[in-house]
Amino acid sequence: MHASQGRSAGLGLALVSAFAFGGSGVAAKPLIEAGLDPLHVVWLRVTGAALMMLPVAWRHRGLVLRKPALLAGFGLLAVAGVQACYFASLSRIPVGVALLVEYLAPALVLGWVRFVQRRPVTRAAAVGVVLAAGGLACVVEIWSGLSFDALGLLLALGAACCQVGYFVLSDQGGEGDDAADPIGVIAYGLLIGALVLTVLARPWGMKWAVLGGSADMNGTTVPAALLLGWIVLIATVLAYVTGVTSVRRLSPQVAGVVACLEAVIATVFAWVLLGEHLAAPQIVGGVVVLCGAFIAQLSAPKAASGPVASGGPGSAEGELAAGRSAAQ
């Protein structure tokens, strides 16, 4: 009975995490359209979350010496790289499309395993990759010569590649007693990401006045500060913490599958709140992309350490399975 309650609680936490992550894009896009540079929005998000996680970073300060490569990989790729590319893509293409393109990451990881590491993958995993690629072709309406901005699609693909880079680096996470605590990794990843983004975004040139005003959300005026608060507190801090906690109560694979609902939630939010309607073929394609991501993730080789076995970049803990996009 106790184990059943633990799984139920874990499922609830995974759903909360998917809901929280799924709302980041619809909160960020009005700020970008109000005049903030996408990099500035990313800097605000990451820096705000990093400040909130400072006590956690101090508690896990031993990670700096034990796992420097893992912390650097998470900060540079899963935080700074993924989020910068994802938010930049939002200024050019719909939220749902950007997130679905990013969901090519599990398929790309399997490509790395098969062709770079030269390790076998299952037939089911190969089917997942084909489904994800075919579904994406429907999402971007490739038959009409790509119905969306090419640079926006490339930026979203860049976010997926940054995820893959962290998946690969996460083999540094270790196992057993040497495993890196995922909450500590997240805290330091946010701190490193904030430092990197400070150099790239140069926030001293930001249009700070935008934060004191309002932003338009499909005809509804919303305080910019409220949108920023949602991005930092809900879509970052709450999303990561609940996601990581859910992985500890569920298997990383199950938590990762639930996390895939993020794309559905983000698309519905964008439809309702931003008026970004997708055509029927794109909706079907999105479902196929997610099915491919499910299969690719659940069919990963079991014997490997790191992301392939865990379902996400947190190595033994699989924290990115709980909150996929470090990103959104």
Instruction: For 196-206, write each residue's pLDDT tens digit.
Output: 999 999 999 99
Q: Which of 64-68, 256-260, 305-309 has the highest mean pLDDT?
A: 64-68
Q: Look at residue 317 in the predicted model and tell me its pLDDT.
A: 34
pLDDT band at 44 (very low <50, low <70, confident <90, very high): very high
User: Average pLDDT in the 209-238 region?
Assistant: 94
Rounded Cα gap, residues 327 and 85, in angstroms: 9
Mean pLDDT, residues 275-292 taken together: 83
pLDDT tens per residue, range 204-215: 999 999 999 999
Distance CA 126, CA 128 (A): 5
Q: Give me the pLDDT at residue 245, please.
A: 79
Asked whether the beta carbons of 246 and 239 are under 8 A apart, the reply is no
pLDDT of 316 > 60? The answer is no
Check residues 278 and 36 and name the one with the higher pLDDT: 36
Cβ-based neighbour number of residue 45 at 10 Å: 26
pTM over 0.85: no
3-state class (DSSP) for residue 272: helix
Tens digit of each residue's pLDDT (9 = 90 or more) over 89-100:
988 888 888 887
Specify the DSSP class assigned to residue 299: T
Percent of the chain beyond pLDDT 90?
Answer: 34
What residues contact 210, with CB distance under 8 A and at least 6 apart?
31, 34, 35, 36, 224
pLDDT at residue number 38: 94
The answer to whether 243 touches 259, Cβ cutoff 8 Å, is yes
Predicted pLDDT of residue 278: 79
What is the rounded CA–CA span in Å between residue 173 and residue 44?
28
